[in-house]
Structure 1
Amino acid sequence: MKDVDRRLLDAARAGDAVAVRAAVEGGANVEVRDEELRTPLLLASLANHVQVARVLVAAGADVDAQDARRDSAWLVTGVTGSVAMLRVLLPAGPDLRRTNRFGGVSHIPASERGHVAYVREVLAVTDIDVDHVNRLGWTALLEAVILGDGGPAHQEIVRLLLAAGDRELADGDGVTALAHAERRGYAEIAELLR
């Protein structure tokens, strides 16, 4: 690996936008990969280094480049819940159908983790498939119910997903989100689903 490429990876990981710009202007490959196949843009997205991401997107970095774990800069916005990073990456045209290692799109982990602002934003400004089913047989709604805590954040996510999607989609075993909510004692979510 060239020194300038190594400097770019290190600067992206550290969140140093000035050093990232210098490396790019010095001829660094914006698609260089580290030992886990992460690009500088993916490193920036993982750490929510928004200014670094701006520099890399302006330099043409690929928002869909996936690492060894099938994460991409775009997909991890759903994990981190960063609306600021979503707004930086969206103009670069991410593939909203690209999936992570679980077969999910970005709003599924956001729904599971209770990232209300992210779910609201991605549903409002993209045409993401709200009812995408991952390899577990779960939609974002099912993940919010099955893996969420039933609290206010997950209740709001359920409201948002219901407004945009299909409440009748069941998991791979035919169990609906309502049945999961009732089993877990999530009365408020169950009421929303009725």
Structure 2
Amino acid sequence: MKTLQALMLALCLAGTASVHAQVGPTAAEAARYQGLHAAAQAGDAARIASLATAGADLDARDAHGRTPLHVATFAQKRAAIQALAKAGAKLDLLENDRYDAVTIASVANDEETLRLLLSLGASAKQVTSRYDGTALIAAAHLGHAGVVQQLIAAGAPLDHVNNLHWTAVIESIVLGDGGPRHQATLKALVDAGANLQLGDREGRTPLQLAQARGYAEMVKMLQAAKGR
């Protein structure tokens, strides 16, 4: 019973983090922005270039630790992202909740912005969030299969274990709904060679977790890969 209660608490906490930690600027915050933050929010690439030439701090922080790049990523302003990168903005900084631009785009299921960030040299390998996770774990949790495939191709660590003792494979199961999106996510991880023997804190393997949740398609997939 205690083990079940602990699992449910962890599920609740992880789900809460997904909903609340990825917080973009509010309308009120955006209205108060000046300089590069305002240009990033508006997607004004020309203004970004002008301010950068004038010596503006490309990595300045707002009250939540967001740089102009974070703001542009939340706003899906890809021209602004390109302008900031061209001017020399750092691509892998973390904001106050310990998210980088890659993880922000991944959680938003924004494949186009993620593709741009990775092409510009942003890393898919960083440890992010209060759970010491990765963009890959966050995307697997949410069943963003296309994002997961991009991150895998960019060298994201397949078997990183967060401080809940979960991998991307485990999160695709225990925080997923067992449906097509999470099945596709799990398949991408399996096909990429993720370690399917790594268990949770109680030693339960992905196969055992899928069986316990009654996720028949995931069980079939994991059984087919068993012993790999």
TM-score, length-scaled by structure 2: 0.77
- In the alignment, which residue of structure 2 is the partner of 1:113? 142
User: Which deviates more, 142-151 or 16-25?
Assistant: 16-25
Distance 1:109 1:64, change over 3 A: same
In structure 2, the partner of 1:56 is 84
Equivalent residue for 2:206? 177
Contact 1:75 1:99 in 2 (8 A): no
Query: What residue in structure 1 maps to residue 152 of structure 2?
Result: 123
Distance 1:87 1:27 in 2: 28
Give the deviation of 1:129 after TM superposition: 1.2
Match 1:137 to one of 157, 165, 172: 165
C-alpha contact 2:36 2:56 (8 A) present in aligned 1: yes
Task: Say how many residue pairs are matched.
Answer: 189
Contact 1:78/1:108 (<8 A) preserved: no
CA distance in structure 2 between the aligned counterparts of 1:21 and 1:95, rounded to whole angstroms? 23
Q: What is the distance in 1 between the residues matched to 2:132 and 2:120?
A: 22
The amino acid of 2:61's aligned partner reads R
Q: Equivalent of 1:104, from 133, 153, 173?
A: 133
Consecutive unaligned residues in structure 1, runs of 5 or more? none
Note the 1:80-91 alignment, pairs <5 A.
Answer: 80-91=108-119
Please state how far the C-alpha of 1:28 moved relative to its aligned partner. Answer: 1.8
Q: Which runs of 4+ in 1 moved over 4 A?
A: none
Partner of 1:193: 222
Shift of 1:127: 1.9
Distance between the aligned counterparts of 2:205 and 2:53, measured in 1? 53
Q: Which amino acid aligns with 2:54?
A: G
Deviations 1:57-84 (A, max 9, x none): 1111111111111111122222122222
Whether the 8 Å CA contact 2:124–2:151 is kept in 1: the answer is: no
- Counterpart-to-counterpart distance in 2, 1:21 and 1:114: 36
Counterpart amino acid of residue 99 in structure 1: V
* Paired residue type of 2:200: D
Give the letter aligned to residue 171 of structure 1: D
2:5 alignment counterpart = none
Which one of the candidate residues 94, 100, 110 is aligned to 1:66?
A: 94
1:32 aligns with 2:60: yes
Q: Deviations over 1:138-178 (max 9, x none)?
A: 11110110111111010011111011111111112111111
